[in-house]
Every structure is written in C-alpha cells, then in structure tokens.
Amino acid sequence: MEIFDDLSKIVKNDKTTLTIGTFDGVHLGHRKILETVKQKALLHGGRSLIITFNPHPKTVVSSNYDIKILTGLDEKLQLFEQLNVENVLIINFSKEFSRLSSEDFFKQYIVDRIGLKEIVIGHDHHFGRNRSGNERTLLELSKNYSFNVTTVEAFEINGEAVSSTKIRNALQRGNVKTANVYLGRPYSFKGVVVEGDKRGRALGFPTANIRPDNHEKLLPNLGIYAVEAKVRNTKFFGLLSVGKRPTFYQSGSVVPEVYIYDFDDDIYGEEITVSLIERIRGEEKYSSAEELIVQMNKDKEAGLEILNRLYTSAD
C-alpha cells in the first residue's frame, strides 16, 4: 500500500477511481465503499485511491465538539492495508483547508492534481466548506470534467444503516455486541502498561493499568467487560474494568485496567492491545473490599462462561 501525505508526490492519472472520507472505524459500510472502489478501478484498468483526513474534521471545525474517535490514523491505515487498499492520500485537515468550497477542493485537489475517472461515495456523503458538497454537486461537476459518479447505498443490518455515530453511541452505552457487529471485528484499543496503586493485587486480582496511546480514542462505558488481551504477540483472555473505582475513591479519572486469566508476568512499560468481547456489568460502588472481592469472583466466572460459550459456538 502506498501512503501519501503530500499531494505533490502523487502523479496525475486520469484513470483514477477514488473515494473521500474520514472512515472512522473502517466499519462494514466503509468496507462496502472500499470494495466498490477496487472493483471500479479494475474495470477501468486504472489505479484506486482513498483520500482521508487527519485529524478528524469535526475536531477542527467546531471547538465545542468533543468527539472521541474509533480509529487513530495508524490503526486506520493498518485496517486499509488488511483490506488491500492500493493508495492512500492523507490530507491534513486544518482550519484553512476547511474553508475551501466544495468546488474549489474538487478542482484544486482532484481534477488538477490527481486526475479522475470515477468517484465512489457513500449515500450520505458531504464535502467542502460547511459540508455543502454532495451527490448533486458531484453530478454537476461530472458534466464539466467528464467523470463517473457511483453512490453506494448504506450497509444495513436488521434494517439499521451502519455508521460511525451509531458505533460510538453503542460503545458509550456499553453495547459492545452491536458495536462489534457493525465494525465487522471486535472493537479494540491499545496502550502501555503503567504502575497503579497495586490494589488489585492486594485483592487477589492483579491488573494491568493501561495508559491508552491515543487520548482521543473512545473507551466503552464504565463497567466490566470480557476481553481478549494481546501482550508480546500472544493472546490471552481476561476482564477489563473501565471506571473510577468508587469503592475506594470519591472522585478521579477513568482508568482502564485488565485482569488476565492465569497470567502474572511483569509487563510494566510494555504495549498491550485489548479487544472487547462482551459487557458483563456496569460499574458499582461496594461497601467494603470484601464485598468487592465476592463480586470480582462472580465477574471472573461470568467472563469464563462468556468465553466458553463464544469459542464453543465457534467450533
């Protein structure tokens, strides 16, 4: 996969089939668009190109918009590569760039510099200043610049159109199952294992406190989750706690920490990737450490039941 972060490095090719979008999450709807781009490029005997943005446009155009992302740039590019994307152009989404009209963006970036045979867009695609450009805009532009426009209908599951917003909403409710179905894979995040207060070890449940590598990455709703943890290129099963630990602290920041089944290695300073499988319960405050230990043992058993059910059905 060729990755470009500078428009001047792209050779103009009038047989280019491309699509444009943020592609946060690279979910099943996005995959449908990317697959269509590859098919159209093959049909035209030309190249395919994905244009995406960094940072997320909504973090730039609105100072009041506190969006949490589903995929950072590195993760997004990794997913693109897994989907056999040929070329990716990353555009730095700045305040200045956001002021370009849809027509100016299209002419200056695509017509004059990249070249175009066909553009593939999602059913709700908008672009340019104030999101003024849409399918109708592209159809008008196509008359002047002689290119094709293909609109991909929404990817639906049980009558619901898959979208990044719906995935975020599901995760914020703790509905991991729905988020994973819409993504077509388990939702995950990664970070570095850091020292905590070692309270979990004292309770008989040693946990790895995680400092996420991207502060903009969305964490699921507070609670306990059955997860898969990848450490040193080896996968383990465990329980993720996302919470403020109200049994011991009156206030504080949200801390993600993982208890890994049958694991007691020292992994401070090492990278860990956590993939969500299923939510077990929400965060609760207990009257004593002893009461919490009883619940943690119940969580451990619940997690094992989920994992056994999942992998038994997979067999």
Q: How far is CA 142 from CA 31, 69, 83, 136, 192, in A?
A: 25, 33, 28, 10, 48
CA 190 to chain centre: 12
Domains of the chain, each with CATH number or no CATH: 2-161 (3.40.50.620), 186-314 (2.40.30.30)
**Each residue's pLDDT tens digit, 65-109:** 678 999 999 999 999 999 999 999 999 999 899 888 888 988 999
Q: Of the candidates 137, 71, 82, 73, which has an alpha carbon nearest to the alpha carbon of residue 110?
A: 137
The band of 235, judged by pLDDT with boundaries at 50, 70 and 90, is very high
Q: What percent of the chain has pLDDT over 90?
A: 66
- Nearest 5 degrees, angle CA 122-CA 128-CA 129? 135
The band of 41, judged by pLDDT with boundaries at 50, 70 and 90, is very high
**Each residue's pLDDT tens digit, 262-281:** 888 889 999 999 999 999 99
Q: Is 76 exposed, middle or buried (0-12, 13-18, 19+ CB in 10 A)?
A: buried
Q: Quick one: pLDDT at residue 59?
A: 82
Say if residues 270 and 193 touch (Cβ distance below 8 Å). Answer: yes
Q: Of the candidates 185, 170, 164, 275, which has an alpha carbon nearest to the alpha carbon of residue 221?
A: 170
Q: Quick one: pLDDT at residue 166?
A: 96
Q: Quick one: pLDDT at residue 201?
A: 64
Distance in angstroms (rounded) separating the CA atoms of residues 29 and 103? 26
The band of 244, judged by pLDDT with boundaries at 50, 70 and 90, is confident
The structure tokens listed for 251 are 């206030």
Q: Kindly tell me if the per-residue pLDDT of 315 is higher than 60.
A: no
Q: Quick one: pLDDT at residue 223?
A: 95
Cα dihedral across residues 85, 165, 65, 190: positive or negative: negative
The structure tokens listed for 235 are 């996968």
The band of 255, judged by pLDDT with boundaries at 50, 70 and 90, is confident
Q: Kindly tell me if the per-residue pLDDT of 249 is higher than 80.
A: no
Average pLDDT, the chain: 90
Look at strands 17-20 and 118-122 and give their pairing: parallel
